Structure 1
Amino acid sequence: MSESTAVLPPFHLAFPVHSIASAREFYGDLLGCSEGRSAEDWVDFNFYGHQIVAHLAPEECGHRKTSAVDGDAVPVRHFGVVLSMAQWEAAADKLKAAGLQFIIEPHIRFKGEVGEQATMFFLDPSGNALELKAFANIASLFAK
C-alpha cells in the first residue's frame, strides 16, 4: 500500500479538562463523539475513529501561546483531525448553527499555494484548542 492509500492506525490523545460533565456535553453532544470507557475523573471519546481521553486536571487547562500562520494567530498547543471537504463543510455549518465561538473562523488557508486547506479553530469549555481541517486534494497533506 502507498502512504496515501494506507489505512492509518488510530491515534490516542489525553488532554486536561476542568469538568467531565462539560467535556461530555461538548465532545459528546456538540461534536457527536460517542463515549467509550470512563471513570469519575476521565472519559474516552471516539473522535473520528481516534481515541481521545478527557482527564480531570483543571490546573493544566487552556492554550497559552499562539504562532503566526498565514496571517492567523494559531494556538501552538492544539489538536484536531483532517476531514474530507464535505465533512469539514458539514462540521462548519453545524458548529456555526450551534453558535460556537471560533477563535479562527472557518476559511481557506494558503489559497492557490501547495497545501491549500480549509481550517477552523475553536476552544472546548476547558480552553483546549481544536482544529478541523480539510484539503481539496488530500495528496497535498504533506506537500512542500
Structure 2
Amino acid sequence: MSLSPFHLAMPVYDLKSTRRFYGEVFGLEEGRSSDHWVDFNFYGHQLVIHEHPKTPSQESAHTNPVDGHDVPVPHFGIVLGWEEWETLAERLKSFGTEFVIEPYIRFKGQVGEQATMFLLDPCGNALEFKAFKDMSQLFAK
C-alpha cells in the first residue's frame, strides 16, 4: 500500500518549548520555519506547529472511554512498525515523558491487537502512537 504524506498544521501557544519537544524529545527533523511556525518531518508527513492563542481543547481535553482508559479527544498520531513503536516508547520514557495513557497492548489476543500510548505536547495537544501486531488488521472490525 502506498500512502501520500499528510499535512497537519496545529496551534501551539509556546512555540519555543513545543519546537524543542518535537525536535529533541521525538528527534524529528526540522524543515522550514519562521518566527511564528515550524515544519517537522513527522515520520514522512508534514507537521507544522503554528503560534496561536490557547484553544479550548488545550485548556481541558475531552475524553471518551476506550478499553478501560480515558482517551483524549481530539488527538492525532501515527501508526508505526512494532519495533519502531517500542523504540519510541523507550525514548519517551528516557526523557521523563508524562503519559496520559502509559504504553500498553490494547485488545491483546483479539482482532486489532495493538500497542498504544497517549501523551500531550507542551501546549496540550494530544498525541497517540500505535503499532499493530498484524498491520492488515488496521481497519478490521
2:4 corresponds to 1:9: yes
- Aligned alpha-carbon RMSD (Å): 1.0
Shift of 1:18: 1.2
Count residues in correspondence.
139
- Look up the match of 2:30: 35
Which stretches in structure 1 are left out of the alignment for 5+ residues? 1-5
| In 1: Cα distance, 2:37 partner to 2:116 partner | 29
2:70 corresponds to 1:73: yes
Matches within 5 A, 1:1-144: 6-60=1-55, 62=58, 64-144=61-141
Which stretches in structure 2 are left out of the alignment for 5+ residues? none
Which residue identity is paired with 1:34?
Answer: E
Q: Deviations over 1:99-134 (max 9, x none)?
A: 100010000011121111000000000000001100
Shift of 1:59: 2.2
Shift of 1:58: 2.5
| In 2: Cα distance, 1:64 partner to 1:94 partner | 25
| In 1: Cα distance, 2:92 partner to 2:54 partner | 27
TM-score (ref. length: structure 2): 0.95
Which residue identity is paired with 1:134?
Answer: A
Which residue identity is paired with 1:11?
Answer: F
| In 2: Cα distance, 1:119 partner to 1:64 partner | 18
Q: Percent identity?
A: 58
| In 2: Cα distance, 1:59 partner to 1:98 partner | 25
Shift of 1:52: 0.6
Other structure's SS at 1:27 match: helix
